[in-house]
Amino acid sequence: MADYETFGYEVRKPFQSELKYFKKNPHVSGMAAADNRIILNPYSKLAPEQQGAVAKNEAIRLFMRGKKYNYDFDVTPEQLKSFQGTEYAKPENVQSLKDTLVSRIITGDPSAGKFTPAQKKWADTILGDIKNRNRFYVK
């Protein structure tokens, strides 16, 4: 596996069931797996630099999952529209959508859309928490 900035979270090869999912969903570039490791889609057409950004996004999601943040910001209608037709758009997945938005704001991913000051404040807080957790982590 390539050496990505993942704040100490492991990138592992996908299991067979995950490979089957990824093959059917090449638009899903990676995920924070249930075992708290990162998996990247080998069927994705992303360049290595883009895969690195995905790995970093998923590492941030794993960190947030562990902390169980309770966000007090709203998702904008434009952001919700950009995720229309995905699992994130379902009302039961609002926490995952907010995790995704925050991680993408932190990494500078433009797919977060135009974010609000409250979303940016959360992103800054979480990035500070990550840096504090990892201040002794050496890549």
Segment 33-57, tens digit of pLDDT: 999 999 999 999 999 889 999 999 9
The residue among 81, 43, 34 whose CA lies nearest residue 61 is: 34
Q: What is residue 64's predicted lDDT score, i.e. its pLDDT?
A: 94
Among 24-38, 49-63, 124-138, whose mean pLDDT is lowest?
A: 124-138
Per-domain boundaries in the chain: 9-68, 69-139
Q: Flag whether pLDDT at 131 surpasses 60.
A: yes
Tell me the CA distances in angstroms from 75 to 100, 104, 116, one per residue in order. 11, 13, 9
Helices within the chain (DSSP H only):
16-24, 48-67, 77-82, 94-107, 117-133
Under DSSP, the state recorded for 125 is H
Q: What is residue 120's predicted lDDT score, i.e. its pLDDT?
A: 97
Q: Flag whether pLDDT at 139 surpasses 50.
A: no
Among 1-5, 10-14, 19-23, 84-88, whose mean pLDDT is lowest?
A: 1-5
Give the pLDDT mean for 129-138. Answer: 70
Hey, which residues does 31 pair with through a beta bridge?
A: 39
Which residue carries 């924070």 as its tokens? 32
For residue 58, give the 3-state DSSP assignment.
helix
The per-residue pLDDT for range 64-102, each reduced to its tens digit, is 999 999 899 999 999 999 999 888 889 899 999 999 999
Sheet architecture: strand order including 38-40: 11-12, 38-40, 30-32
